[in-house]
């Protein structure tokens, strides 16, 4: 008799657990997060690429073209733009002719080294990242206007703004406090 | 000028190093296109560098909503319908498709950072990752930075000085044909202005090895 009672009690307890778990499952289903979907609007890697090389009517299209597809869609247009900005362009300090240079630029990604100094250019390393203090504009002006020896168009190869107006910090989050 | 001479000295040696990595050109990305100008999704600049505080880490900075005057900064806020994504190609071939993403969403005064993790969806559509995010309260204007930290990752979101510097107005004058050269000294068009900054520091071991290609996107919830 005692055994039978215990047996029934176990069954009831077991059923109770099943019901409880079932209820939990139902709750989980109701709380299951739905997919939150986003559509891309802006895109950037190297500084000023869209601003300088993309024509007014295509800036939104450039921003919503994945990098893997940008080269095919924009390299020729970038080449035309470079020659419009600097009709005398032959090669630049990197030895890249117009088509090669703009072919690289049209795929807008930033290479970041995981085992070497990270900088846009520090006198030794080139395009291994972008630090806050890197004078990226002067580097770009030299490559656009400076010719093969960086000596062409001396009035166009340095904007003479060499540093930020506030100092950066060596500790997180590194950017200066707001004005 | 020293930078130029250094560049010249390097000369052709650079070609091999940079052949697949070259980059370049003018005013960062502030107000770059009609669809994003004046909205919460306008990316101004992207930075990626080894942490000055820990050589094992990489720091990603994505700034939005540039050219904020100090008087407008306290009222500026991240758009809660905009998710900022750092896309990472760590493949050996560098096919420039994202193998990993870091996603930052903004909700009820907090930034929530997901990843780095393989994306649910690649390309111009993105699905928010389902793992547990690292959270931090969005830092207020004038207050000390609030830092979220977990699993070796640090996150910050809030107003900061715009770190970009450039004599943009003189460049525009040159392009427009009303000037023929830069001035010396130049005038930093971004001096005295703020941005809304997202800063994420990640152990290199979570990103890959050798080098990676990265790009940032802003994405609006559908």
Q: What is the pLDDT of residues A49-96, one digit of tens each?
A: 998 999 999 999 999 999 999 999 999 999 999 999 999 999 999 999
Q: Is residue A13 part of a domain?
A: yes
Determine the residue of chain B that is closest to A86 in CA distance: B175
- Residue A5, pLDDT above cutoff 90: no
Task: Classify residue A123: in a domain, yes or no.
Answer: yes
CB A71 within 8 A of CB A79: no
A24: three-class secondary structure by DSSP? helix
Q: Do B29 and A175 touch (CB under 8 A)?
A: no
Q: State how far the Cα of A127 lies from the Cα of A120, in Å rounded to an integer.
A: 4
User: Does A157 reside within a domain?
Assistant: no
Nearest by Cα to A156 from B4, B149, B207, B81: B4
Distance, CA of A96 to CA of A157 (rounded, Å): 17
Residue from B9, B19, B22, B162 whose CB has the most chain A CBs within 10 Å, to mutate: B22
Whether the pLDDT of residue A16 is over 50: the answer is no
Dihedrals phi, psi of B95, to nearest 5 degrees: -85, 0
Q: What is the dihedral of CA B45, B49, B52, B56, to 10 degrees?
A: 140
B20: its two tokens: 């697949």
Residue A82 contacts B where some CB pair is shorter than 8 Å:
no
- Pick the residue from chain B with its C-alpha nearest to A149: B8
Residue B31 has pLDDT above 90, yes or no: no
**Model pLDDT, residue B39:** 81
Cα angle value A115/B16/A140 (rounded, 5°): 85
Instruction: Please give the interface size between A and B, counted as residue pairs whose CB atoms are below 8 Å apart.
Output: 365
Average pLDDT of every residue of chain B: 89
A98 and A139: one domain? yes
Least confident of B17-26, B126-135, B170-179: B17-26
Nearest CA among B53, B84, B90 for reference residue B197: B84
d(CA B67, CA A178): 12
Q: What are the chain B neighbours of A140 within 8 Å (beta carbons)? A: 23-26
**Residue A58 sits in the same domain as residue A113:** yes
Q: Give residue A174's pLDDT.
A: 98
Contact B159/A at CB under 8 A:
yes
Q: Do residues A35 and B206 lie in contact, with contact meaning Cβ atoms separated by under 8 Å?
A: no
Find the range with the poorest average confidence among A24-38, B4-18, B192-206: B4-18
Q: Is A78 on the interface with B (CB under 8 A)?
A: no
**Residue reference for tokens 């510097």:** B165
Does residue A134 sit in the same domain as residue A59? yes
CB contact under 8 A, B21 and A129: no
Kindly report the nearest CA distance between residue B64 and chain A, in angstroms: 10
Indicate if A18 and A106 belong to the same structural domain.
no
The reply to whether residue A50 touches residue B33, judged by beta carbons under 8 angstroms, is yes
Over 60: is that where the pLDDT of B8 sits?
Answer: no
User: Cα(B61)–Cα(B129) distance, rounded to whole angstroms?
Assistant: 20
- The number of folded domains in chain A is 2
A30 to chain B nearest CA, in Å?
Answer: 16
Backbone phi, psi, residue B60, to 5°:
-110, 135
A127 and A77 part of one domain? yes
What are the pLDDT digits (tens) for B185-221? 999 999 999 999 999 999 999 999 999 999 999 999 9
Chain A residues within an 8 Å CB radius of B164: 47, 164
Chain B CB within 8 Å of residue A152 CB: no
pLDDT at position B117 is 98
Predicted pLDDT of residue B4 = 43
Spatial distance between the Cα atoms of A28 and A9, rounded to a whole number of angstroms: 28
Angle, helices B2-10 vs A136-145, to 10°: value is: 60
On whether both A10 and A72 belong to a single domain, the answer is: no
The percent of residues in chain B predicted with pLDDT above 70, rounded, is: 88
Confidence of residue A22 (pLDDT cuts 50, 70, 90): very low
Query: Which chain B residues have a beta carbon less than 8 Å from that of A123?
Result: 3, 6, 10
Provide the domain limits for residue A10.
1-29
Residues A107 and A135 in one domain: yes
Name B211's bridge partners.
A113
């Amino acid at each position: 008799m005692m055994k039978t009672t215990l047996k029934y009690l176990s069954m009831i307890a077991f059923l109770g657990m099943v019901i409880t778990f079932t209820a939990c499952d139902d709750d989980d289903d109701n709380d299951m997060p739905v997919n939150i979907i986003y559509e891309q609007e802006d895109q950037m890697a190297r500084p000023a690429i869209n601003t300088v090389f993309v024509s007014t009517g295509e800036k939104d299209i450039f921003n919503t073209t994945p990098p893997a597809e940008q080269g095919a869609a924009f390299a020729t247009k970038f080449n035309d733009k470079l020659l419009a900005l600097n009709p005398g362009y032959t090669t630049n300090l990197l030895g890249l002719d117009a088509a090669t240079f703009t072919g690289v630029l049209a795929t807008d990604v930033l290479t970041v080294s995981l085992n070497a100094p990270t900088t846009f250019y520090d006198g030794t390393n080139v395009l291994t990242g972008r630090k806050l203090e890197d004078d990226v504009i002067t580097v770009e002006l030299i490559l656009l206007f400076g010719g093969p020896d960086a000596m062409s168009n001396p009035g166009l190869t340095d904007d003479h703004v060499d540093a930020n107006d506030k100092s950066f910090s060596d500790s997180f989050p590194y950017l200066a406090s707001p004005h | 000028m020293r930078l130029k001479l250094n560049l010249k000295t390097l000369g052709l040696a650079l070609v091999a190093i940079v052949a697949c990595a070259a980059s370049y050109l003018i005013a960062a990305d502030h107000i770059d296109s009609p669809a994003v100008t004046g909205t919460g999704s306008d990316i101004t600049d992207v930075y990626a560098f080894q942490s000055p505080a820990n050589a094992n880490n990489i720091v990603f900075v994505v700034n939005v909503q540039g050219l904020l005057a100090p008087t407008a900064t306290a009222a500026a806020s991240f758009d809660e319908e905009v998710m900022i994504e750092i896309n990472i190609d760590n493949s050996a071939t560098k096919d420039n498709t994202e193998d990993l993403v870091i996603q930052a969403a903004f909700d009820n005064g907090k930034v929530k950072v997901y990843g780095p993790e393989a994306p649910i969806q690649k390309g111009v559509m993105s699905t928010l990752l389902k793992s547990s995010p690292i959270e931090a309260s969005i830092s207020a204007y004038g207050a000390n930075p609030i830092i979220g930290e977990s699993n070796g990752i640090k996150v910050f979101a809030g107003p900061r000085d715009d770190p970009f510097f450039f004599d943009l107005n003189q460049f525009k004058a040159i392009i427009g044909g009303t000037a023929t050269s830069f001035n010396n000294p130049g005038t930093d068009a971004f001096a005295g202005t703020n941005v809304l900054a997202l800063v994420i520091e990640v152990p290199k071991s979570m990103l890959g090895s050798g080098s990676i290609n990265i790009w940032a996107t802003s994405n609006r919830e559908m």
